Chain A
Amino acid sequence: MYCSGRTVFSSKLANQLFKRLQSTLVIAEHNNDVVSPVTRNTLTAAKQIGGEVCLLVAGESCGKAASEAAKLPGLAKVLVADSAHFKGFLPESLTALVLALQNQHKFSHILAPATAFGKGLLPRIAAKLDVSPVTDVIEIKGADTFVRTIYAGNAVLTLKSKDPVKILSVRGTSFAPIDGEGSATPEKAADGDYAAPKTTFVSQELSKSDRPELTSAKVVISGGRGMKSGDNFKLLYTLADKMGAAVGASRAAVDAGFVPNDLQVGQTGKIVAPELYIAVGISGAIQHLAGMKDSKTIVAINKDPEAPIFQVADYGLVADLFKAVPELTEKI
């Protein structure tokens, strides 16, 4: 009895000590005004690692984003780097900044969301620190053991990182957004010359939409090749507006020019896991399923009963989408 009690006690102590040794830097994704929702999911992953969590907000005139970030819960520090060098969030500039911070704070983990921003930046930081980064983590098993998917989500890899610093991009849909409110005081991050003379940000062209953002929407309605034209996507927009849903697309629909690229759901597009995913005129290729098969409920509307999408759909409707979608819109 005495022995087993002692073991429990010492392993608990070791665990606490271990957690105290961790310190994680989360790189916030934001547009200088607003912190992107996926940063909250990334913070949840950071909390699971244990130890102190610091959040970095780097940008040009990013005061608004910084004060919003300071209200996020459970942060030991909010580091703010506000400089013209960070215009366009170029990885070349941000890497130099993160390296300076790493020198100063010796973080055990550096995390960012697995978005175009995080995926562009983290490997550059990792290479400079000579460590092997881990992309699109879906589960934290311990301070050095992580789970991610490979082969378009058709296999789940659990790996142990042997590197001294763990650099992880986090799949937002696999972690709930962090909850609550905090009150950290924004601190100025390491000053320095972070200019990237060989790269220039020119411009950005963002698709405008009043609908919810695809990766965080509760309901997503996606169209595929079966939509036949960009104009027909209006059918989905009408239904989406009625349901408060975001609109996505398969690669076929994007390649055919029906909708812009940033609506693509799949292995090489966005990964979504909404409460409800409605696939309209989508056959369900492996690459598309990779981006949506963790959705809670999947509905497929397709006239081909053999379409592979029906193998993952909770509810299937074998019907002509041009009849079924307007009917659905009308009756909902």
Chain B
Amino acid sequence: MARVLVGVKRVIDYAVKIRVKPDKTGVVTDGVKHSMNPFDEIAVEEAVRMKEKKIASELIAVSCGPAQSQETIRTALAMGIDRGIHVEISGAELNTLQPIHVSKILAKIAQDEKVDLVIVGKQAIDDDSNQTAQMTAAILDWPQAAFASKIERAGDELTVTREIDGGLEVIKVKSPAVVSADLRLNEPRYATLPNIMKAKKKPIKKVTAKDLGVDISPRIEIVSVADPPTRQAGAILPDVDALISKLKEGGHI
């Protein structure tokens, strides 16, 4: 039976319309609703299902971030993860924390905890990087299966269906491996109240990047964060004929 490590990130809730700070250093995060990155919820759900199918023995959730990341870990625990590891990253460091840093942290924990499988979301909806799984796999020299929409485990082999540009692809990877979850992998469950209560008793270990021997010095300098160009308001047309004449005017037809 496999031990599974799941990476979870606390991000601004997907439904929030973000605001860029006037000084162009970033986006406003204070007082804004945060929640678990949607792709990570899918990763957590998949791990929990593996335990329910008795193909996983212990599930560990890791989050790198400020103190509030513990809430994100609690959510994972309430969904069925066994224990958490919080890698505390302070405010200033958080701004330039990149997937390369997180991958090194995940890789170190994966080795320390002797896990057989690392599952993360395919991308975080804040930085939209889509890198962590691939980089974690590279650092560990493990095979990778990115953008998974189906995972089947038989012995030490995983058969993974991946979402690619033209359709779907099936690969087999030998565990230990790293998988990233696409939207279609599963439908994450809601944590029930009793499980939320139980999750409060589950342990969360707190460590720092330094404890793990990972250097998180910045690899990028943020030059600016700006609003995207806004589109000019358009016109509501009365009927299909008006639309056709506009399309003709624009040379589209």
Contacts and interface: CB of A to CB of B under 8 A. Distances in A.
Interface of A: 88, 90-92, 95, 115-117, 119-128, 130-136, 145, 148-163, 196-207, 215, 219, 243, 251, 254-255, 260-262, 267-268, 270, 275-276, 286-287, 293, 297-299, 305, 310-319, 324, 327-328, 331-332
A332 B241 CA distance: 9
A332 B224 contact: no
Contacts of B227: 154-156
Contacts of B168: 204-205, 261-262
Contacts of B166: 204, 206-207, 262
A156 B223 contact: no
A120 B219 CA distance: 21
Contact of A315 (B144, B171, B237): B237
B137 interface: yes
B173 A150 contact: no
A332 B231 CA distance: 27
Contacts of B222: 157-159
A155 B225 contact: yes
Interface of B: 12, 14-15, 17-18, 20, 27, 39, 98-100, 103, 122-123, 125-132, 134-139, 142-144, 146-147, 149, 159, 162-174, 177, 182-184, 218-228, 231-237, 239-241, 243-244, 246-247, 250, 252-253
B181 to A, nearest CB: 11
A135 B169 contact: no
B172 A200 contact: yes
Contacts of B139: 127
B34 to A, nearest CB: 13
Nearest to A135: B129
A7 to B, nearest CB: 24
The 9 closest A-B pairs by CB, nearest first: A127-B138, A132-B219, A123-B134, A127-B135, A123-B131, A206-B166, A314-B234, A158-B223, A202-B170
A267 B128 contact: yes
B240 A327 contact: yes
B218 A117 contact: no
29 contacts: A90-B171, A91-B144, A116-B162, A119-B146, A124-B137, A125-B138, A127-B103, A127-B139, A134-B220, A151-B27, A158-B223, A158-B225, A196-B143, A200-B171, A204-B167, A204-B168, A207-B166, A219-B252, A255-B183, A262-B163, A262-B165, A270-B165, A287-B14, A310-B236, A313-B234, A315-B234, A328-B240, A331-B244, A332-B244
Nearest to A36: B165
A243 B243 CA distance: 14
B146 A120 contact: yes
Given A158-B224, A316-B236, A124 B163 contact: no
A314 B146 CA distance: 37
B102 to A, nearest CB: 11
Contacts of B234: 298, 310, 312-316
Given A152-B128, A155-B225, A305-B236, 18 more contacts: A92-B144, A123-B134, A127-B134, A150-B128, A151-B125, A151-B128, A152-B125, A158-B226, A159-B220, A197-B174, A198-B142, A198-B173, A202-B172, A204-B164, A262-B165, A262-B167, A315-B234, A332-B244
B84 to A, nearest CB: 25
A260 B138 contact: no
Nearest to A285: B15
B163 A162 contact: no
Given A127-B139, A207-B166, A286-B17, A293 B225 contact: no
A204 B169 contact: yes
B19 to A, nearest CB: 9
A90 B182 CA distance: 18
Contacts of B169: 88, 201, 203-205
Which of A95, A125, A132 is packed against the most chain B CB atoms within 10 Å? A132
Given A311-B233, A324-B240, A115 B128 contact: no
A91 B178 CA distance: 13
B36 to A, nearest CB: 16
A253 to B, nearest CB: 13
A305 B237 CA distance: 12
Contacts of A133: 99-100, 131
A319 to B, nearest CB: 8
A163 B253 contact: no
Contacts of A276: 247, 250, 252
Given A159-B223, A160-B223, A316 B134 contact: no
Which of B39, B135, B246 is packed against the most chain A CB atoms within 10 Å? B135
B138 A151 contact: no
Contact of B226 (A92, A136, A155, A200): A155
Contact of B126 (A91, A145, A151, A314): A151
A93 B131 CA distance: 18
Which of A121, A135, A215, A311 is packed against the most chain B CB atoms within 10 Å? A135
B221 A159 contact: yes
B235 A314 contact: yes
